Structure formats: C-alpha cells, structure tokens
A = this chain, B = another copy of it.
Amino acid sequence: MLPRIRNIGRDTLRQWSCATSIPGSHRLTLQTVWSRDQSTKATTPAKTIFSGIQPTGVPHLGNYLGALRQWATLQNDAATNMTLVYSLVDLHAITVQQDSNQLQQWKKESLAMLLAIGLDPNKSTIFHQSDVPAHAELMWILSCQASTGYLSRMTQWKDKTANEKDGNKKLKLGLLSYPVLQAADILVHRATHVPVGHDQAQHLEFARELANGFNHTFGGDVLIPPETLISPARRVMSLKDPMAKMSKSHTNPNSRILLTDSEETIRTKIKAAVTDSMDSITYDPEGRPGVSNLIDILYHSDAHPAYPSQDELAKDLAGLSMRALKDRVAETVETTIKHIRASYAHFLNDNDYLDKVAAQGAEKAAKSATTTMKAVKSAVGLI
C-alpha cells in the first residue's frame, strides 16, 4: 500500500513529477511540459501526451482530484505544439468479463464525463480504443517481440491471477497480454509522455523496452520510448474505511462520492463518513484517518489554495465541531462537483453529440496511428 502523501508543498502537488527511478528517463521540469512561453518553443520539441482511461463507470471524487482535474488544466495550459490524446480503453476493459449492455452504457457515460470535466474534442483527441484497429495491429506486431517470461512475471498479472487454479476464468491470454496492448496504445500515437499512477509504472517501463527492442531489431527510430509521468499521489480515502483508497468497486456505495451524486447525496455521505470521537480537528493521517481524509478533501478541492499544507489548513479548522467540518466539506465538494454533474447530465442525453465526438476522435486518432503503422509495417517487411 502506498504511503499517503503528507506535508507536501503545494507546488509539488500541482506538478507532474518525473519518475526518477525509471532508467533512461531524464528529469523534465513542470514548466517545459506546461509552458506557453514562446521562447521555449524553439528549444522544446513537440510533445504528445497520451492518457488511457478504463471506461468502467462514473468516476468518483478520488479519480477527479487525483487525475481528471489535471487533464482539463493541462489542456488549457498546453503549449500549442503539444498534442493531447485521451483513449477510452474498452479493449482493455474486456480483459475481465463484462456485461455487454453495461459496457456499452459505461462507454457512453465515460465519454460524457470526459466532456463534462472540461476536455474539448477540438483541442484534444478523445476516442474509443476499439474504434481504431491500428491499436490491435501494432499489439500483434509487438507481441512478436514481447517475452512470455517477462509478461508472466509482471506484478499486475501475478496479483490478478495469484491462487487461481489453472482452469480458472481469469487466466486469459488477454490479461497476460494487457501490457502489450497498452504499449501499442502509447507507441501507435508516438506519445512522448504518459501520465500514470504508480501501479502502471512497470507497464510503462515495458513499453519503453518494446520500443527500444523494436528499433534495435529493425533499425532506425520508428517507435518512440515515452517518458513516464507519475502523478503525485493525491489519494482520497474511502468514507467508510479510511485506511483504504476510495474506489469504484467497493461494495458500499456510501464509501465513495460519485461525480453524479446530488447535493443531498453528498451531504448524506459526508455526514455518515467514519471519523472518531476525539475533540477538535487535527491533521493526523495515522492516528485519525477519517478526519484527516476530510481535511485532505478540503485541501485538494481548492485548485488555487490559500494554505501551503494540510497542517496549516487544520489550524484554521481546529475550533470546528465534527458536524461543522462535515458541513464545510460537503459544501466544498458540492461546489467542486455541481458544474460537472450538470454538464454530464446534459452530454449524456445528447446521443447525437456523443456519437459525433466519438467519430471525430476516431478520425483524428486513426490519422495519427496510420503514420506510425506505415513506418512500422515498412520496417518489418509487411509492406
């Protein structure tokens, strides 16, 4: 389990940080990723930032504060020579058994949500992975380079299949191959940077190895090994079990706040959040996980915060009752969510617009992928 981030300075929290433990990655400072400064444009090569999102239901507050909110900011602050690509990875979603009708609905909801949080299909490329066959095409070609031994030792495969009897439904080729399709996603769009959580770092390392291995085998620089951007852990904990991360799959729906929750639901859930019976409000994640989670939510919700740390914020909250704290948290969350909630409802009911956005995204993504596939197929001797 990842340690919770404590007392991290505000600047670090707002920045993507490069994973310095990744061999071969060089330190890339925030300003070169975000900058609109024209003077760096000449020296800063064009970037392509690729993000893959599982289309598995409406996101929760943890998803939003942890990643989604940054995407909208990135889009708005991006340099003009930066390409932003967002893929709803439905082919990855089916590596575990899905109900067909639910998957179809989730895809629609996920797309509506990306629009609701502020992604603009005219500024970014937003598409469904399965709409672009080149992802599967490059996946096959890369699988002729990928070692089965390496894949079977990957943490995610081992974790997901631990203790499964061989005949178990989980031991599917798609699940073993997951990182290879992920590599194809990134490499087919020539991504230079890929923001992921810690749990995907190993897969990104693998993608780099595949790219380098391909270039070594076939010559040239056909594939671009991307840099990993590890988003700083901005973990929102479960409201019912504050030692666990807020998640989509926890059996108790009151453990999470969905971006579609009504104001009333938000208040109900926050009110019922597990805290403790100690007096006053202090920030102490180890000793007071429930209360500290509420403080974290307040702290991270403010995009341009007044406080440099949770401790500073806690000082201002010290005299509040638990009820007053919860009221404040609920108000803040409602403020954060209400515009998204309204936009989402609007987009979800506009099927024509969603179809149009998906088609527009697929077209852009296909064009991007075609460039890569042409070079790849030529290098391999397929054309």
Rounded to whole angstroms, the CA-CA distance of A144 and B174 in the bound complex is: 4
Question: Does A139 have its Cβ within 8 Å of any Cβ on chain B?
Answer: yes
Other-chain contact of A136, B128, B133, B218, B380 (Cβ < 8 Å): B133
Question: Does A111 have its Cβ within 8 Å of any Cβ on chain B?
Answer: no
Question: Does A134 have its Cβ within 8 Å of any Cβ on chain B?
Answer: yes
In the complex the two chains form, is B172's CB within 8 Å of A148's CB?
Answer: yes
Q: Pick the most buried of A91, A104, A377, A381: most chain B CB atoms within 10 A of its CB.
A: A381
Question: Does A103 have its Cβ within 8 Å of any Cβ on chain B?
Answer: yes
Question: Does A99 have its Cβ within 8 Å of any Cβ on chain B?
Answer: yes
- The 8 A CB mask of A341-383 against B (1 = contact, 0 = none) is 0000000000000000000000000000000000001011111
Q: Pick the most buried of A140, A144, A145, A381: most chain B CB atoms within 10 A of its CB.
A: A140
Chain B nearest CB, measured from A132 CB (Å): 9
Rounded to whole angstroms, the CA-CA distance of A338 and B130 in the bound complex is: 48
Rounded to whole angstroms, the CA-CA distance of A141 and B181 in the bound complex is: 12
Residues of B contacting A177 in the complex (Cβ-Cβ under 8 angstroms): 140, 143, 173, 177
In the complex the two chains form, is B146's CB within 8 Å of A103's CB?
Answer: no
In the complex the two chains form, is B133's CB within 8 Å of A147's CB?
Answer: no
Question: Does A287 have its Cβ within 8 Å of any Cβ on chain B?
Answer: no
Question: Does A212 have its Cβ within 8 Å of any Cβ on chain B?
Answer: no
Task: Given A136-B136, A140-B139, check contact A379 B100 (CB 8 Å).
Answer: yes
Question: Does A149 have its Cβ within 8 Å of any Cβ on chain B?
Answer: yes
Question: Does A166 have its Cβ within 8 Å of any Cβ on chain B?
Answer: yes
In the complex the two chains form, is B130's CB within 8 Å of A145's CB?
Answer: no
In the complex the two chains form, is A381's CB within 8 Å of B180's CB?
Answer: no
Q: Which residue of B lies closest to A138 (CB)?
A: B136
Question: Does A20 have its Cβ within 8 Å of any Cβ on chain B?
Answer: no
Residues of B contacting A316 in the complex (Cβ-Cβ under 8 angstroms): none
Question: Does A7 have its Cβ within 8 Å of any Cβ on chain B?
Answer: no
Other-chain contact of A140, B91, B128, B146, B218 (Cβ < 8 Å): B91
Question: Does A95 have its Cβ within 8 Å of any Cβ on chain B?
Answer: yes
* Further pairs besides A94-B141, A146-B173: 4, Cβ < 8 Å: A133-B137, A136-B139, A143-B172, A146-B174
Q: List 18 A-B contacts (CB under 8 A).
A: A91-B140, A94-B144, A97-B217, A99-B381, A103-B382, A104-B383, A107-B381, A130-B137, A130-B377, A136-B137, A140-B174, A140-B181, A144-B173, A144-B175, A145-B172, A145-B174, A147-B173, A149-B171
Seen from chain A, the residues whose Cβ lies within 8 Å of a Cβ on chain B are 90-91, 94-95, 97-104, 107, 128, 130, 133-134, 136-137, 139-141, 143-149, 151, 166-167, 171-177, 180-181, 217-218, 377, 379-383
